[in-house]
Structure 1
Amino acid sequence: MLEILPPELLRFLMVKTKLNQAINFDPAGDTIPDLFDDYQQAALAYKNKSDEDLARAFEYSQIGKEVKLPPFGARFINLAQWVQMPNAEQKIKEYDMEEWVPYAKIWVERFAPDSAKYELKKDIPESAKKLTGKQKEFLKKVATEIDKDWNAEEFQKQIYDWAKDFSLSSHEAFEAIYISLLDKTYGPKAAWLILFNKDFVKLRFEEIYSSSERSEFRSGNSSPQGRTIISLNKPNVFSIDNAVKEKYPSISIGIAIIKGVTIEETNPQLEREKEAFLKSLAGLTTEQLGQYPEIQAYRRLYKEMGVDWHSRRPSPEALLRRVALKKGLYTVNTCVDAYNLVVMKHRISVGAFDLDKIDFPTVLRFPEKGEEILLLGDSEPTVYKETELAYFDRKGGYNIDFNFRDAKRTAVQLKTKNLYLNIDGVYDITSSQVEQALREACDIIMKHCGGRLETFGVDTAS
């Protein structure tokens, strides 16, 4: 065990396990990264004097009298990505994670799932030859810019901007990068992958661009940027109940699944984007909020549901109201903070949930009498009104009042690796607006949290 875990982690595993429970430790899969995550959280509790049980577990796990705090800047899963990249030593040193490197290497070599393993391909993958002309032009652009003095966060942002220049969705752009280098449609943060291997990447991208004639870009298919609305049509994933369709024939719901995300408490680039967005709304007043057609649509819906929108404000209005009152924005994590920018920009509700906590299929329906939901932040369950629109899976409701508040059991946490998104429109909020907001929500989440888009579409009452 000491080969795969440092002594303090091994002690932590034993300390945090209840006395009447057997330790069932299987190092395969995500067990080891999750244990390191738990250890970092316990160390934070000790440092901040917050959760007493976690803090005590951390303190008792120490070897010797001296308490040694672990690195906090990055997670073990990030380190596991870095140890697979050439020239990543400086990044590892920057985050003070050198002591964990041997354990990360062992996990990657012996226990990690294939989805967590990344190997630069020596030859151009056959799949890279099938990239569209626009994708190859995009790679050429990246190759011409690599040698400039970039930091990873700025370069990651620039990749998104270049994708837009070539009319590519972020999914198409990053897919081109990962296919070209890894022969996969997903991978670690692209900026790190590229900047750690500048010479190799530059040559590879130029070779791909030159390997065949430029082809015309064909839009549509799985890209969220197609001209027509992309229909979801996946009842095994999501559906709208017939009673809801009859009551609200204008309703449209956007659904997306993003897998393989890495969520952090915060990052500097996202904080700068939040600051810039707040500045753009400097003159906003509470009186103006009621004039927006999207806000009016949600207020009308709440009135129809018998909900007082003064006490339960729809999420776009609640966020913008904080801005208008100069109260600033909450900081939750990089996923929630990112998509909240889209909520405020389009004034359309967005909900994100832990995909692995959802028991499919899901449905938008009216609650049955007596159904309850334990909302995030509450200690007692809330009883639904039978007129309140809510999303349900086979275990019960996971939000209330059209993304007003979410359930505790499906909340997005730092450990969340896979996301389930829904975006809702009604009345004057059209299906086109819903799709646009969903696309931008996916883009900004993948920009700051990574991941790959696996499902995307809009379901309507018609």
Structure 2
Amino acid sequence: MFFCHSTELRDDFPELAAGVLFAVGITDSASVDAPIADLNTVAGARLAKGPEGEMPEIQAWRRAFSRMGLKPTQYRCASEALLRRFRQENALPRLHPLVDLCNAVSMAFAIPVAVFDVAGITGNLEVRHATGKETYLTFSGQTEHPEAREVIFADDAGQAHARRWTNRQSGLSAVRDETKGVLIVAEAMHASAPADIRKLVETLAGHLGAIWPVTPKAAILDRASPRFEF
């Protein structure tokens, strides 16, 4: 199996920086309270200086959404949605230790982080434009069809695992209590994205190795190395 971005998408968004991790051995019984508290402190300090909409990481994704024909304040990237909720409620609901950890990392870096249960993925996974024939399963169990040219995470079976790029993931590959193998993808567009993505991947890999009995496989993707095999 491999993960990549389509050549067309990289041509449209040459500023894209991406980092990926793969790990097997995740459990739902780990404690992530300590790293989440530290990461939330970082996110809180950033929000104390100004709302999430003023952060360069979020502004870059808003520009990307506008270029995709989406209204940025109607469809927000995942990190903006998390920061917005954290600013309003000072906490996020707990879902699964890995998801909770990745959400905290996403907020601390203001960078979208997607987590997929690889058991729900058929074949390879590519971020590309939709044809309009793909299927997307919502968390409530409903089936949708992304519009043609919408940016999605699509597998070889034509299943969309995320809609509007970094806006909404699918229930099909959502992390659950029985999840063992995961693919984690972080993507950014701002000026310092390459360095920040590398730091994010190193931070997340360190936490994964310290919390679970796993040795994550990680990589930074670019035009020279666009594919991650897992």
| Structure 1 CA distance for aligned equivalents of residues 84 and 24 of structure 2 | 32
CA contact (8 A) 1:240 1:461 kept: no
For the Cα contact (< 8 Å) 1:369–1:385, is it kept in 2? yes
Code of the aligned partner of 1:259: V
Partners of 1:240 and 1:406 lie apart in 2 by: 16
Please give the alpha-carbon distance, in whole angstroms, between the structure 2 residues aligned to 1:329 and 1:307.
Answer: 26
CA radius of gyration, larger in:
1
Partner residue of 1:293 out of 42, 51, 56: 56
Does residue 313 (structure 1) correspond to residue 79 (structure 2)? The answer is: no
Q: Secondary structure at the match of 2:113?
A: strand
Gaps of 5+ in 1: 1-235
Residue 418 of structure 1 pairs with residue 181 of structure 2: yes
Structure 2 counterpart of 1:332, from 95, 116, 120: 95
1:445 aligns with 2:208: yes
Residue 24 of structure 2 aligns to which amino acid in structure 1? K
Secondary structure at the aligned position of 2:80 is classed as: helix
Distance 1:242 1:327 in 2: 40
CA offsets, 1:92-118, max 9 Å, x none?
xxxxxxxxxxxxxxxxxxxxxxxxxxx
Equivalent position SS for 2:171: coil
Name the structure 2 match of 1:274: 36
Contact 1:263–1:449 (CA under 8 A) maintained in structure 2: no
Find 1:257's aligned residue among 22, 30, 36.
22
Aligned residue pair count:
222
Aligned 8 A contact 1:398 1:410 in 2 = yes
Is the 1:372–1:382 contact (alpha carbons within 8 Å) kept by the matching residues of 2? yes
Match of 1:152 in 2: none
Q: Which amino acid aligns with 1:439?
A: E
Unmatched 5+ stretches in structure 2:
225-230
2:117 matches 1:354: yes
SS in 1 for 2:47: coil
Structure 1 Cα separation of the partners of residues 67 and 60 of structure 2: 11
Superposed CA offset, 1:321-374 (max 9, x none): 122113521201110111112111111111111122222322111111243311
1:229-240 aligned within 5 A: 237-240=2-5
Determine the C-alpha separation between the residues in 2 that align with 1:416 and 1:301: 32
Measured at CA, do residues 251 and 386 of structure 1 come closer, stay the same or move farther in structure 2, by a change above 3 Å?
farther
8 Å Cα contact 2:205/2:218 also seen in 1: no
The answer (yes or no) to whether the contact 1:374–1:381 under 8 Å persists in 2 is yes
How high is the sequence identity, in percent, across the aligned residues? Answer: 20
Q: Note if contact 2:23-2:181 (Cα within 8 Å) is conserved in structure 1.
A: yes
Deviation at 1:278, TM superposition (A): 3.9
Shift of 1:262: 1.8
The structural deviation recorded for 1:426 is 2.2
**Would you say 1:373 and 2:136 are equivalent positions?**
yes
Higher strand share: 2
Q: Who is 2:228 aligned against?
A: none
Task: Report the secondary structure of 1:331's partner residue.
Answer: coil
Report what 1:433 is aligned to.
196
CA distance in structure 2 between the aligned counterparts of 1:253 and 1:447, rounded to whole angstroms: 23
Alpha-carbon spacing, 1:400–1:429, altered in 2? closer, same or farther (3 Å): farther
SS in 2 for 1:284: helix
CA RMSD of aligned residues (A): 2.3
Instruction: Give yes or no for contact 2:39–2:105 (8 Å, CA) kept in 1.
Output: no
CA contact (8 A) 2:132 2:149 kept: no
Greater helix fraction, Structure 1 or Structure 2: 1
Distance (Å, rounded) in 2 between the aligned partners of 1:403 and 1:315? 6
Query: 153, 156, 174: which one pairs with 1:391?
Result: 153
Which secondary structure state, in structure 2, belongs to the residue aligned with residue 416 of structure 1? coil
Contact 2:35/2:207, CA 8 A, preserved across alignment = no
> Contact conserved, 1:286 with 1:325, CA < 8 A, in 2?
no
1:258 deviates by 0.6
Please name the residue that 1:456 is paired with.
Answer: 218
- Asked whether 1:303 is paired with 2:66, we answer yes
- Relative contact order: is structure 1 or structure 2 higher (C-alpha 8 Å, sep ≥ 6)? 2
| TM-score of the superposed pair, with normalisation by structure 1 | 0.45
2:19 and 2:221 in contact (8 A); partners too: yes
The one-letter amino acid paired with 1:369 is G
SS at match of 1:368: coil
TM-score, normalised with respect to structure 2 = 0.85
